[in-house]
Chains A and B, each alone.
Chain A
Amino acid sequence: MGLDFTVVPSYFGVLLMGAGWTIAITICAGLLSFFGGIVFAVIALYGHWSLRLPFRGFAFLFMGTPLLLQLFLIYFGLIQIGIDLPAFVAGVIGLGLHFAVYNSELIQASILAVDKGQYEGARTLGLSRGQTLRKVVIPQAVRAVVPPMGNNMIALLKDSALVSVIGVMELTLAAQQAISRTYRPFEFYLAAAFCYYIVNLALEAGLRRLERRIAASR
């Protein structure tokens, strides 16, 4: 049986729908990982020990275990203790928290790299520690961290394929469905790969624009 790409267009709608879900998951989990990353970074650096210690355990758990396992735990495991999340929500939480921990590492480093003159400039005006962090330090730390965090976002987009295992009808699962009906894995996996590639190009272009925009304000 040779390759026959003519079957792909008839499943175009399915793939497009899958790509839409992939984008939706990436955006939701990306936002969660961004804001979660900031919160985690602040806890790790400035939190009371009663917050900091549990957080360390939590961070270690998310960095030291497979994302796939984390998704199983959140989706299938939590049901046992009465938390029944829709697959999409479970996927967003799993991906989002997983990458929030990685983003937090980046943001912590860049918070510590903010010049001490920035704290002094803000504090001498009368700003409190919290105001200084919120208005002066964190905005600068986040700007500095956009390029490496962009890499995490690209990784997040690709890892979003993993949520297919808990039944979210995203791009990878959509391709699998098309394959189960047509028995043409090579064509559809290739088509899916092509879709990921296109979405990634768009994401990269967006990140580059963002980097250019903040370049003036650094």
Chain B
Amino acid sequence: MTDQAFVTIRNAAKSYGALEVLKDINLTVNRGQIVAIIGPSGSGKSTLLRAINELDPLTSGEVWLEDVQINKKLPHRQYEAHVNQVRQDIGMVFQHFNLFPHLTVRGNITLAPRMLKGLSEADADKLAEEQLAKVGLSEKIDEYPSRLSGGQKQRVAIARALAMKPKVMLFDEATSALDPELVEEVNLVMKQLAEEHMTMIIVTHEMDFAASVCDRVLFMDQGVVVEEGPPSVIFHDPKEERTRNFLRKHLSR
């Protein structure tokens, strides 16, 4: 793995009126790196993640994927086309899965590749089968999402994102809405992606998972990155008082 900067966030700031939710955040993620963002709710971690693919555009600052600036200022039409293009390279997994209930698992996975990459039905089907095999759900290909458990839904959502062959995957509390016994199957899929050197940025409340999978951990609070470093440092020897307080509450649970 090379050490080149893959995702770069420079001087990111976001405010809603007088409320500043992100304040001067800088982050560089290298190719193949896995970064976890932790912090209390309202700390801005999801907002930062959603700024990366322009779901919640920044007020100021820059977001780059390799040598492409994602949040370029462009006239409306060009901006839309640009964003639609770059989003194809950025997979995102949501807390509430956001599967399309009116489509089967196959339909969920093949919709975007067929519409955006012009895949034939046969090629798209093959792609869906591959991605489902990867998340261990081959037999569910013709089911509707309503027939799946939460963990299965999330694995399908991951397969759907992977079908676009993204360069980076964003996980926004992917296991927070799951029953405890279903968390592990999703974590396993994410670990498998990590082994394949997928670049990932993960917003999570699961400290054990972050510690075992991630190369780097960011602790955010009140819109700033309080502390960042390798998990061994952040979880065992944090320097900041705020980090220690947060971890004390979370690890004792």
Interface residues of A (CB under 8 A from B): 115, 117-118, 120-129, 131, 135-136, 139-140, 143, 214, 216-218
Contacts and interface: CB of A to CB of B under 8 A. Distances in A.
B112 A127 contact: yes
A143 B96 contact: no
Query: 9 closest A-B pairs (Cβ-Cβ)?
Result: A121-B98, A126-B88, A125-B112, A117-B98, A124-B92, A126-B87, A217-B102, A139-B102, A217-B144
B55 interface: yes
B53 interface: yes
A125 B55 contact: no
A125 B101 contact: no
A115 B115 CA distance: 22
A140 B101 contact: yes
Contacts of A127: 84, 111-112, 115-116
B5 to A, nearest CB: 22
Given A127-B111, A128-B80, 6 more contacts: A120-B94, A124-B90, A126-B116, A143-B102, A216-B146, A216-B147
A118 to B, nearest CB: 6
Contacts of A125: 87-88, 111-112, 116, 160-161, 164
| Interface SS of chain A | helix
B87 A123 contact: yes
Contacts of A143: 102
A148 to B, nearest CB: 18
B100 A118 contact: yes
B102 A140 contact: yes
A160 B144 CA distance: 38
Given A124-B55, A218-B101, A218-B146, A117 B115 contact: no
Interface in B172-226: none
B99 interface: yes
B15 to A, nearest CB: 21
A123 to B, nearest CB: 7
Contacts of B112: 122, 125-127
A4 B96 CA distance: 67
Contact of B101 (A120, A129, A131, A217): A217
